[in-house]
Structure 1
Amino acid sequence: MRRLPLFVFIALIVVLPLLSATPEFWITQLNYIGLATLVVVGLVVLTGVAGLTSFGQAAFVGVGAYATAYLTTALGWSPWVGLLVGLACTAAIAFILGAITLRLSGHYLPLGTIAWGLSLYYLFGNIAAFGKYDGIAGIQPITLFGYSFASGRSIYYLIWIAVLLAVWATSNLLTSRPGRAIRALKGGAGMAESFGVNTAAYKTIIFVYAALLASVSGWLYAHMQRAVSPSPFGLNYGIEYLFMAVVGGASNVWGALLGSALVLIIKDQIQSWLPRLLDSTANFEMIVFGVLLVVVLQYAPGGLWAYVSAPFRRGAATRGKAVAPPPEAPALARRLRPEPGQLVLEVDAARKQFGGLVAVNDISFKVRAGEIVGLIGPNGAGKSTTFNLITGVLPLTGGKVSFMGGRIDTRRARDIAKLGVGRTFQHVQLLPTMTVLENVALGAHLRSDVSVLAGTLRTDRAREARLLHEAAVQLQRVGLGDYLHEQAGNLALGQQRIVEIARALAADPVLLLLDEPAAGLRYKEKQALGAVLKQLRAEGMSILLVEHDMEFVMELTNHLVVMDFGTKLAEGPPAEVQNNPAVLEAYLGGLDDEEPAHA
């Protein structure tokens, strides 16, 4: 949100309770909107950004509420101690549930959240110390320096301070190094692993993060109501929170506020008017909500916040190229390059079978420092599968792969990335809603150590500046310095491939694997790319290249390996391979009669 609307919003929030003309009902309604927003902000990160659907957030609200309710009534402890204990219990429960549930994928994940959400709901209602389904009453109000937050108008400020802090912290998190990793979880987890992102750890972290925000909401709810019972923490409320996120805009933190406000206001109006319209006291509320959800998904799949914020974003697309690059910052530390000619990669009898299909059949070759090796062959020859075996995306069926003298075929993709192996992909894997600069900065993930806490509290600005500066330098290097702040999804396919190369270079690799980097490029763009690759070779980088443009390959490479049906057909210098009869018959035959495309 831009500064002026933000200041107006904050001023309005501050002034409303001070006005004697403000009805008590409005204050109560705003309190409930604030409490819901806290939960939904967590869902924005978990579901909207990371793509992990959860129906169980209401149960975490219950953990925070019951923890403080029991401690303040049965033991007489301070509500602030109740907050800390509630957060600790929530973190422990969320960590355990997350470690189990987040292993699920597809529709099994939301079903898993429904299961434990129901389990916690029934647990609250069956513990005698919690009053079973009657709950706990007589909860003491929150006090601070002698001031009591007993009334709705007084706790209002506490609720909205918590909301604004949650929005601020979450916005910081999503624009930081860990935030880029979190945004890659939805649709780019495999790619992120290839750049060193521990996706399993980040899933658990944001699961706990969302649960903690819900727990704070529960703590505030308990001391506002001064009583708790299981009913507000059931599955129907978990569905309602998710509905709020979808309505407002599940990928934007301010959408959480909009969605919470709309749903609670509409819900109140439905409860008032529907019985009169239908002349019935039956509960048709969920039916109306279901219809509204279908309408929103049909006409505003990205949520309503996109429409509300449109006036503030107008013209942003045309300004994208004019935005200044990141300010100068100290360069990131660089790896030591191996000596020219030193063995960097050795693939020894690598084999990959998918059932009875042999995709890679005992392939062997080597790549040395300061050398560009071309891995060529017809479509379906097994080239990209070989790339995936080298980078740990796929496990070997047989053979071994060594990098800088050590075996890597038993390592995970992110561990191989740490050693200095960077790559691009046959099918472009950029995050389309992130800027070009942010996509490339993701490649430098391992070159900084910003924690989630540092990103949330915004204490990472110096290190973040270095990452963004490195990303900008690599984009300038490949000729895309004018597109830093353009959304990656708006670029042409050829430009997206160049962005992938810049992202791989941002990782400062010793070995660079390029999978069809020239596909979709015009003739002059290919020439510019070739010049960049030659410069990288001169700097001592090793490059393994898969490409179908034979003119591009023959001019660029020092050594060629030809594959056909998963088997190595020939190997040697480009001129020798080009004249190999077996290669001509299988792949290169007839190319001399064709004119190269200079589109």
Structure 2
Amino acid sequence: MSVIKRPAVAAVATALILLFPFAPVPDFWITQLNYIGLFSLVVLGLVLLTGVGGLTSFGQAAFAGVGAYATGYLTTVMGLSPWLGLAAGLAITLVLALVIGALTLRMSGHYLPLATICWCLALYYLVGNLESLGKYDGLLGLPALTLGDFSFQSERRIYLLIWLAALLAALAVTRLLDSRPGRIMRALNTNRGGGSTMPEAMGASTFRHKLVMFVIAALLAAVSGWLYAHMQRSVNPSPFGIKFGIEYLFMAVLGGIGTVGGAFAGAALVKLAEDQLKVWLPVLFGGSGNYEIIVFGVVLVLVLRFAPDGLWPLASRILSRWLPARAARSVDEAAPPLASREHPQPGAPLLAVRTIRKAFGGLIAVNDISFEIRAGDIVGLIGPNGAGKSTTFNLVSGVLPLTSGEVELLGQRVDGRGSREIARAGLSRTFQHVKLVPEMTVLDNVALGTYLRTRSGTVRAMLRLDKAEEAQARAEALRQLRRIGLAEQAHELAGNLALGPQRLVEIARALASDPSLLLLDEPAAGLRHKEKQALAEVLRQLKAEGLSLLLVEHDMDFVMKLTDRIVVMEFGRHLMEGTPAEVQASPAVRAAYLGAEA
């Protein structure tokens, strides 16, 4: 078994699925598998939207309803082709998803799930009250799908179409997640250590990527609804209400909401279990009723308690004892290098900070701070706790807007711009609290830094037309890991590394964007002595290569041995600026740190 590769296992499994209807099996099995395939299409969208992006949606059934009703109306009322019905359903879904997404995806907390419930209920009652759509009776007599002279009227034939769509969707989502936009999407989930700050600092629009995920999930649901309508040859509001919206999310959570395989596992488990429970539970309880909902509630609690990642990841860990290990994806080190920006000559003006101020209501956190950095310098920003160092850092990098003042980078005014635009101008940064995606490899985390130096988008990624550029990005990521001495850990999961190597990975990710200025926010925080020595050696090497650095740090010994100049802050004010020796000899600095009497 050790010589069998995972792609071969996947190819065999795919062939068996597509050949299943040609086997002498009961029609009931085919029907069950048809529903599992249809459900899986919707749940795949939730894997991308909720599992990867962290955006909870109860409204995917509504988008399935749009696909079903669009083709139902066009084929029964207007007499058009079902394939035109598919095109119309996708077009309407695209417009609706863009509008709804633009209105709701900026919401946070519980507001987004509530909004998804609202639009699902709105569509349900809208189609249920429109005379042209048959109200709650729906539309009957939809034609069977045909392709030339070949008809998909029988369930065994439409099975091929359903599962071909589901498998192609799974392949497209898998490719997307392993790509330039996919890495940004995987970094968005705040429940997994992500959020918007880090992707924006890499130059990516987090809102745009959220909207892309939302649209893809909606389109997959619309395809499912279109297939369902022509399989049933009728359409009514019942399968597109909030009950099914909740069930789709339950399938995703049960199977493994962050995994493509979990979409199929969850759909299969819920569909098969629901049919059996509807038979056995009324017998057990001695009456009719939706007892299966009670069982599903109990199962969900148990899964969240004992297998929070879902059943598919749990089964994968168990089966990994017998299945071959997933081989690390190779890096083509011969790939052409990515385009680089022009950097200033050593000693040239690089960053100018002029009387910047930040007020939070009546609190002045940063009060008219000014300093400059020239190309090739390492400048430290120090001060006691509460001095305003991190706030200054965030003002320079665009995470926070200025109240007043100016920031100039390479001769361009960058104050008033967001961190995304400042990253494009040539500034990159690390974070006080490490912001890596723990489920991604070290190499993929570093490849996030190449976002601004690459161009491939979502469609190219899903069609795998980005292979050449991906090879360049991965080669660049490996080069930066080698630069900081972590090339051997390239294929480790980032979450498995200790804090010291994680901080080095953040530096490698920042370097992958080819910055002119690198900002390091407390890079030595939490590190042991030897880890600090290794970090200092890396930073000296970067300085020798001509890179300019601005760092905020509490460890005075680390700062004094590393920097060319130091800016000292106290209570948000500029206390002094000078060489490490001048700062050490300053009575004002000693008073700020130790107290006036000392």
Fold equivalence (TM over 0.5)? yes
* Alignment map for 1:194-213 (pairs within 5 Å): 194-213=201-220
What is the 5 A alignment of 1:367-516? 367-516=373-522
Could you say what secondary structure the match of 1:444 adopts? helix
- Conserved in 2, the CA contact under 8 Å of 1:181 and 1:197? yes
CA shift for structure 1 position 542: 1.6
Matched position secondary structure for 1:512? strand
Partner residue in 1 for 2:122 = 119
Q: Return the letter of the residue paired with 1:17.
A: P
Counterpart-to-counterpart distance in 2, 1:270 and 1:452: 41
Instruction: Give the conservation status (yes or no) of the 8 Å contact 2:427–2:515.
Output: yes
Conservation of the 8 A alpha-carbon contact between 1:317 and 1:486 = no
1:309-320 pair list within 5 angstroms: 309-311=316-318, 313-314=320-321
**Aligned partner (choices 290, 297, 300) of residue 297 of structure 2:** 290
Cα separation, 2, equivalents of 1:319 and 1:46: 25
Deviation at 1:85, TM superposition (A): 0.9
* Letter aligned with residue 542 of structure 1: S
1:352 aligns with 358
What SS does structure 1 have at the residue aligned with 2:129?
Answer: coil
Cα distance in structure 1, aligned partners of 2:141 and 2:259 = 37
In structure 2, C-alpha distance between the alignment counterparts of 1:61 and 1:276, rounded to whole Å: 33
When residues 317 and 7 of structure 1 are mapped into structure 2, their CA distance, relative to the original with a 3 A threshold, is closer
- C-alpha distance in structure 1 between counterparts of 2:320 and 2:369, whole Å: 52
2:227 is equivalent to residue 220 of structure 1: yes
Contact conserved, 1:69 with 1:136, CA < 8 A, in 2?
A: yes
The Cα offsets for residues 252-311 of structure 1, whole Å up to 9 and x where unpaired, read as: 011100000000000001111111111111222222211111111111110000122124
Cα gap change, 1:107 to 1:476, in 2 (>3 Å): same
Helix, strand or coil: the match of 2:368? strand
Q: Encode CA deviations 1:389-439: one digit per residue, 9 max, x unaligned.
A: 011111112222111122212001111111110000111111111111111
Q: CA deviation at 1:327?
A: 3.8
The separation in 2 between residues aligned to 1:206 and 1:319, in whole angstroms, is 26
Q: CA deviation at 1:589?
A: 8.5
The 2-side partners of 1:588 and 1:325 are apart by 52
Structure 2 gap ranges (5+): none
> Quick one: distance in 2 between partners of 1:316 and 1:508?
40
Identify if the C-alpha distance between structure 1 residues 318 and 38 changes in structure 2 by more than 3 Å, giving closer, same or farther: closer
Partner Cα separation in structure 2 for residue 319 and residue 537 of structure 1: 39
Secondary structure of the 2:107 match is coil
- Is 1:90 matched with 2:93? yes
Asked if 1:301 is matched to 2:308, the reply is yes
Q: Is the deviation greater in 165-174 or in 579-588? A: 579-588
1:578/1:588 contact within 8 Å kept = no
Q: Distance in 1 between matches of 2:524 and 2:472?
A: 29
Q: Which residue of 2 aligns with 1:2?
A: 6
Q: Map Cα deviations across residues 302-334 of structure 1 (whole Å, 9 max, x no partner).
A: 0000122124545999999x9865543111111
Separation in 1 of the partners of 2:326 and 2:216? 34
* Equivalent-residue separation in structure 2 for 1:324 and 1:66 (angstroms): 46
What is aligned with 1:274?
281
Aligned to 1:579: 585
Q: Does 1:334 align with 2:340?
A: yes
Given that 1:195 and 1:414 are in contact with CA atoms closer than 8 Å, whether structure 2 keeps it comes out as yes
2:239 is the counterpart of 1:236: no
- Give the one of 171, 185, 190 matched to 2:197: 190
1:524 Cα deviation (Å)? 4.0
Partner of 1:247: 254
Query: How far 1:450 sits from its partner (Å)?
Result: 0.8
Counterpart check, 1:81 vs 2:84: yes
Q: Which residue matches 1:32?
A: 35
Tell me the amino acid that sits aligned with residue 335 of structure 2.
A
Q: Distance in 2 between matches of 1:569 and 1:318?
A: 57
**Per the alignment, in what secondary structure is the counterpart of residue 395 of structure 1?**
coil
Change (3 A) 1:315 1:510: farther
Is 1:45 the counterpart of 2:86? The answer is no
Q: Among residues 139, 160, 163, which one is paired with 2:142 in the alignment?
A: 139
Deviates more, 1:282-291 or 1:250-259: 282-291
Describe the superposition over 1:353-395 as per-residue Cα deviations: whole angstroms up to 9, x where unpaired.
Answer: 2222222111111111111111011222111111110111111
Q: 1:543 to 1:589 in 2, by over 3 A?
A: farther
Q: CA deviation at 1:16?
A: 2.2
Deviates more, 1:11-20 or 1:405-414: 11-20
Q: Which residue of 2 aligns with 1:596?
A: none
Matched AA of 1:515: D
Cα offsets for 1:59-89 (capped at 9, x unmatched) = 0000000001111111111111111111001
The letter of the residue matching 2:178 is T
Distance (whole Å) between structure 1 residues aligned to residue 386 and residue 343 of structure 2: 34
Q: Distance in 1 between matches of 2:331 and 2:221?
A: 38
Counterpart for residue 576 of structure 2 = 570
The percentage of counterpart residues that share the same residue type is 61
Change (3 A) 1:8 1:324: closer
Q: TM-score when scaled to structure 2?
A: 0.95
Distance 1:436 1:209 in 2: 27
SS at match of 1:309: helix
> Which secondary structure state, in structure 2, belongs to the residue aligned with residue 358 of structure 1?
strand
CA distance in structure 1 between the partners assigned to 2:326 and 2:532 by the alignment: 28
Q: Distance in 1 between matches of 2:551 and 2:296?
A: 54
Matched AA of 1:10 = T
Give the match for residue 595 of structure 1: none
Determine the structure 2 residue equivalent to 1:12: 16
Alignment of 1:63-82 (within 5 A): 63-82=66-85
In 2: Cα distance, 1:461 partner to 1:309 partner: 28
Question: 2: distance between equivalents of 1:5 and 1:418?
Answer: 43
CA contact (8 A) 2:378 2:562 kept: yes
Cα separation, 2, equivalents of 1:153 and 1:319: 34
Could you tell me which amino acid in structure 2 is paired with residue 402 of structure 1? E
Most deviating of 284-293 and 219-228: 284-293
Q: Deviations over 1:499-543 (max 9, x none)?
A: 111111011101110111123334444333333323322333221
Measured after TM superposition, the shift of residue 2 of structure 1 is: 2.5
- The code of the aligned residue for 2:211 comes to T
- Measured in 2, the distance between the counterparts of 1:348 and 1:63 equals 55
Q: Would the aligned equivalents of 2:346 and 2:375 in 1 still touch at CA under 8 Å? A: yes
Q: Answer whether contact 1:360 1:386 (CA < 8 A) is retained.
A: yes
**What residue is the counterpart of 2:165 in the other structure?**
162
The CA distance in 1 between the partners of 2:316 and 2:340, in whole Å, is 41
Tell me by how many angstroms 1:15 deviates. Answer: 3.0
Give me the TM-score of the superposition, normalised by structure 1.
0.95
In the alignment, what sits opposite 1:597? none
| Structure 1 residue 454, shift from structure 2 partner | 0.6
Would you say the 8 A contact 1:338–1:540 is kept in 2?
A: no
2: CA distance between counterparts of 1:512 and 1:315? Answer: 46
